[in-house]
Amino acid sequence: MEAINLMSDTQTLPTEEMYEAMRTAPLGDDVSGTDPTVNKLQEMAARFNEELGKRRKRLEDLNSEEFKEIARASDPQLQSGDHD
């Protein structure tokens, strides 16, 4: 397989498909908030960050008794009392 050099855009040449993507890409300005690609990326990052925050909050709220209950419910040995 031929290696692809991704170290610098000055060392690679775009394919016709790349040129077509550039020619047809929606345009806008990220500073004024009119770049649809940047806006979509920011929305995706915000949703991802929100989901991480929810998961982190749930872990922070989980006290040790709740954790033990979850462990007991998910581990047959703990349910039967066959543990140290």
pLDDT confidence of residue 82: 52
Distance of CA 75 to the CA centre of its chain: 30
Q: Per-domain residue ranges for the chain?
A: 32-80
Are residues 29 and 37 in contact, defined by beta-carbon separation less than 8 angstroms? Answer: no
Has residue 84 got a pLDDT over 60? Answer: no
Model-level pTM?
Answer: 0.50
Task: Kindly give, in sequence order, each residue whose CB lies less than 8 Å from that of residue 27, ignoring residues fewer than 6 positions away.
Answer: 35
Task: Report the C-alpha gap between 49 and 6 in whole angstroms.
Answer: 29
Q: What pLDDT band is residue 79 in, cutting at 50, 70 and 90?
A: low
| 17-64 confidence digits (pLDDT tens) | 999 999 999 999 989 999 999 999 999 999 999 998 888 777 777 777
pLDDT confidence of residue 17: 95
